Amino acid sequence: MNQQPDPVSIAQIECAINHWRERRPPADAENPVLCAEARALADVYELMIYRGEASVEHASLTPQQRAALAAAL
């Protein structure tokens, strides 16, 4: 039996983004840029907000997004 992971909530995505922002802050405070992990998660986060989604299916995340999420949570 191959069970799919639970959907990922917007709160989990936000928590993971904040984790990466704290772990890898921008080097230049005047030109703040998100690290690659936070940027990948920000892409799905912004779409969730735009669409009014409270969660997304784990399978809909890219491999980079899944890795960034797993490493943060």
Residue 2 is assigned to a structural domain of this protein: no
Domain residues for the domain of 36 are: 8-72
State pLDDT tens for residues 23-65.
998 888 788 889 999 999 999 999 999 999 999 999 999 999 9
- Residue-level pLDDT at 28: 82
Residue 45 is assigned to a structural domain of this protein: yes
Residue 27 is assigned to a structural domain of this protein: yes
Summarize the confidence of residues 7-21 as an average pLDDT: 95
Q: CB-based contacts of 35: which residues, under 8 Å, 6+ apart?
A: 20, 21, 23, 24
| Count of structural domains within the chain | 1
Residue 2 predicted with pLDDT over 60: no
> Dihedrals φ, ψ of 58, to 5°?
-55, -40
Instruction: Give the confidence band of 3 by pLDDT, cuts at 50, 70, 90.
Output: low
Residue 34 is assigned to a structural domain of this protein: yes
Residue 1 is assigned to a structural domain of this protein: no
In our burial notation (b when 16+ CB lie closer than 10 A, e otherwise), range 17-33 reads: bebbbeeeeeeeeeeee
- Residue-level pLDDT at 10: 96
